[in-house]
Structure 1
Amino acid sequence: MTTASLRALLSHLIDYAGLFPPAAVDLPTAIKNYQRDRATGDAWMLGAFVLPISRARDVPATLADTAASLPLSLLVGPDDLPPPDLQVVSVEAKTNDPAVVRQLVERWQPAMVFIELNPADEREVMWATLRELGAGAKIRTGGVTADAFPAPETVVNFIVRAADWRVPFKATAGLHHPIRAVHRLTYDIHSPQGVMHGFLNVFLAAAFAWHGMSPDNVERVLAEEDVANFQFTDAGVSWHCQTLTTEAIRAARREFCRSYGSCSFDEPRADLRALGLLR
């Protein structure tokens, strides 16, 4: 039985992004995969279906009713308009212009807007705008090349700033595995390898940061490579001498660290089972 604290951490955590690399399946297959996973006992970990707005009109007529029932996270640009008859729960956009953020929030409400920030942009105005408008931030945590993975200090800086500003966030790309380790960067057996951030690391680091952990320790949580140092019970989770109650994890997930996009729902679950965390 999955412990209550791990269930709190993983509940609706994984937004399915099967259209994107390295999986890059076609739209009918992605929808079929998502609907299949919604019917499994692991559906409690599944979040929204990630879809570029350019593909909304490409949904075949035979799948229109199915697509309309999907909770969507749409990737949009500043000039895109909400498509009719789709269940849009969130939108994701990339901009460093506060005026564009305001425009997106006004246009897409009541959907949650997440803005992918440039990690090198240190301006406080973007964080202040997100806080004012009730929007979220987004961080890219990987890709299909080694240079697409941000350094731990970059991820920690993002998490700590978001926690300080009380701005919720989501992550995207590269979080296929629970624990930080070296993995192949794509599904090709000849793919180069690199160190990939773990989704347990990222979201536990965020939960600890939300509840006041020092930045140095947040970075240590992010860099942890031994899953045995994360002890999940029904009461809470511990990492060395640091603890969070299950209710504290729920609060952090609800108010702060929302989800991450993954092109695979199978791979994270298989790894969790291999580690004995998911049954």
Structure 2
Amino acid sequence: MKESLRAFMKGLIDYAGLFPPAKLPLDEAIDDYVMHLKGENSWMLGRFIIPLSKLNQLDRFVPLFDEIGALELAVLGNWGNSDDEYLSNISNDMAQISDYRNKHSGKVRIGVYECKLPSNSPSKETMKKATDLLNQNKLSHYHEFPELPDVGINYSTDEDESSWDEEILPVVSMIAELEGAGIKLRCGGIVKEAFPTV
């Protein structure tokens, strides 16, 4: 394997065993993750993805990582249906993450936070406040659109008839200007409808 490809793939694949299609119980997901961390391809494996609501259930598994190194986590946070609820939930999530980091200092590293945007058009002020809070907590953070419009290509005219450019691109541009923020696009699942149309 070329060194450039190896460098690109190092830690690239986060472990999502709690989610479909595997949808494993937490104990089985942790066992599977540890097995992969001890395997020959462990260099490709990234963080264990867990919803914030299950974070405290990890306590009994932390000792399993004593010989491997710190348990690296990506946490899925709570979102809200309004800008105010979104900011309030992020603030509460940061308090929980801070408490968990302190409880397992050096043994658990939470480096990534993901959550859905409050709408497809959040205000710049809201996003600035959210990213400032996430950056203060030293988290890489990714924001997911609650719902994406269909990409509507009319193949007879080759015209794009979707609202993608008007609805999504301005928010992507706004978030791109914010320090440390990224966009998460869901690109798959276990049913055909979960895959983007293009």
Alignment of 1:1-279 (within 5 A): 2-59=1-58, 61-66=59-64, 69-77=70-78, 78=86, 79=89, 80-82=92-94, 83=97, 84-85=100-101, 86-95=108-117, 96=120, 97=122, 98-109=124-135, 110-117=138-145, 118-120=147-149, 121-152=167-198
- The residue type equivalent to 1:6 in the other structure is L
Structure 1 residue 139: Cα displacement: 0.7
Count of residues paired in the alignment = 150
CA contact (8 A) 1:81 1:107 kept: no
Q: What's the CA shift for 1:9? A: 3.4
Specify every segment of 5 or more residues in structure 1 that has no aligned partner in the other structure, as ranges.
Answer: 153-279
Tell me how large the CA RMSD over aligned residues is: 2.3
How far the C-alpha of 1:66 sits from its partner, in A, is 4.4
Classify the secondary structure of the residue corresponding to 2:177. Answer: helix
Q: What is residue 202 of structure 1 aligned with on the other side?
A: none
Identity of matched residues, %: 29
Equivalent pair of 2:175/2:182 in contact (CA under 8 Å) = no
Matched-pair contact (CA < 8 Å) for 1:101–1:115: no
1:145-194 Cα shifts (integer Å, max 9, x gaps) = 10110023xxxxxxxxxxxxxxxxxxxxxxxxxxxxxxxxxxxxxxxxxx
Q: Return the structure number with greater relative CO, CA threshold 8 A, min gap 6.
A: 1
Q: CA deviation at 1:119?
A: 3.4
Give the C-alpha shift of residue 126 in structure 1. Answer: 4.2
**Letter of the structure 2 residue corresponding to residue 119 of structure 1:** L
Cα contact 2:144–2:185 (8 A) shared by 1: yes
Residues 246-267 of structure 1 deviation map (CA, whole Å, 9 limit, x = unaligned): xxxxxxxxxxxxxxxxxxxxxx
For 1:26 and 1:66, the matched residues in 2 are separated by: 17
Is there any run of 5+ residues in structure 2 with no aligned partner, and where?
A: 79-85, 102-107, 150-166
TM-score of the two chains, using structure 2 as the length reference: 0.66
Structure 1 residues 35, 103: CA separation in 2 closer, same or farther (over 3 Å shift)? farther
Q: 1:20-46 CA deviation, whole Å, 9 max, x = no partner?
A: 011011111111211221122211111
Distance 1:115 1:3, change over 3 A: same
Q: What secondary structure, in the 3-state scheme, does the structure 1 residue paired with 2:53 have?
A: helix
Q: How far 1:14 sits from its partner (Å)?
A: 0.5
Q: Residues 35, 104 of structure 1: CA spacing in aligned structure 2 closer, same or farther, 3 A cutoff? A: farther
